[in-house]
Amino acid sequence: ELHGRGELVIDPSSGSGALAEALAEAGVPVEISDNVRGALWAKLILNCAYNALSAITQLPYGRIVAGVGVAEVLRDIVAECAAVAESDGVRLPAGLDIAVRRIAETMPTQYSSTAQDLARGRASEIDHLNGYILQRGALLGVATPVNRVLHTLVRLLERKHAETAAWLGHVAVEILDLGAPPLHHVLQHRRAAAAQKPHARRHVRFDRAEALAGGRIDEGLRLHPVDPLHLLTGGAALLDQLPGHA
Q: What is the pLDDT of residue 208?
A: 41
Residue 62 · residue 108 · CB < 8 Å: yes
Per-residue pLDDT reduced to its tens digit, 185-222: 555 666 676 666 655 444 334 344 444 444 444 434 33
pLDDT > 50? residue 73? yes
Asked whether the predicted pLDDT for residue 135 surpasses 80, the reply is: yes
pLDDT tens per residue, range 13-50? 767 777 777 777 777 777 776 778 898 999 999 999 99
Highest mean pLDDT among 19-33, 155-169, 184-198, 232-246: 155-169
92 vs 145: CA distance, rounded Å: 21
| C-beta of residue 90 within 8 angstroms of C-beta of residue 83 | no
Residue 158 confidence (pLDDT) above 70: yes
Q: Which of 150-154, 178-182, 219-223, 240-244 has the lowest mean pLDDT?
A: 219-223
Question: Could you confirm whether 43 is annotated as catalytic?
Answer: yes
Which of 20, 39, 41, 43 is the catalytic position?
A: 43
